[in-house]
Amino acid sequence: MKVVGLIGRDIPYTADEIMTVTASRKLSDGQVCFVGIGLPSEAANLARLSHAPNVVLIYESGTIGTRPDILPLSIGDGELAERADLVVSVPEIFAYWLQAGRIDVGFLSAAQVDRFGNLNSTVVGRYESPKVRLPGAGGAPEIASSAGEVIVMLRQTARAFVPSVDFVTTFGFGRDGEGRAGARRRRADRGDHRSRRARA
């Protein structure tokens, strides 16, 4: 597939390649990035190999500071462990690194996203009788609620960008948009200005 540019000429790059390059530019040198598999992994590793050589890549399987020579097929790919500075347990990744606020950026993907930032990676259709059953949450809910910033990479199609996700796997701002923002607004209206972070 080729992408047609604004002036109507063919560009010799795919939409996925352009999205990967654009997303990679969101990472800065020295940031700590929790990486999802697929396009997020491509973008994070491109950043590491180009403009951000000191970015610290962390995968859910427990690899910290990994520098794979080839793109991993999954979070359990041995390439990640062979090229990592450190391999720890999954509970340590989530408790010590993610939930403790040590992750600057989380790179995620999903099957669906809605206008309130809710992500679906569980089912397409009704949960009880889905049209498609997907891999599920993995660490996405924890990444979305605990990382300093979240970048979602998703192909721009009508099936992916939906008015309301079929299943809320990862909470953004809730079904009505009143999730985190609404909670902060209600606290402000009450005069409660203490700093709290609303979490899913």
Domains of the chain: total: 1
Give pTM, 2 decimals: 0.79
Give the separation between CA 62 and CA 76, rounded to whole angstroms. 9
**199 lies in a domain?**
no
54 is in which domain, residue-wise?
Answer: 11-189
Q: What is the CATH number of the domain that holds 134?
A: 3.40.1080.10
- Which residues does the annotation mark as catalytic? 60
Judge contact between 105 and 149, C-beta under 8 A: yes
**196 lies in a domain?**
no
Judge contact between 184 and 135, C-beta under 8 A: no
* Of 125, 117, 107, 129, the residue nearest 170 (C-alpha): 117
Give the separation between CA 158 and CA 150, rounded to whole angstroms. 22
Q: Which alpha helices (H) appear in the chain, and where do they start and end? A: 15-24, 39-49, 78-82, 90-92, 140-146, 180-189
* Of 138, 200, 128, the residue nearest 166 (C-alpha): 128
Per-residue model confidence as pLDDT tens digits over 75-121: 889 999 999 999 999 999 999 999 999 999 999 999 999 999 999 99
Per-residue model confidence as pLDDT tens digits over 113-163: 999 999 999 999 999 999 999 988 888 999 999 999 999 998 889 999 999
**198 lies in a domain?**
no
- Residue 104 structure tokens: 């600057």
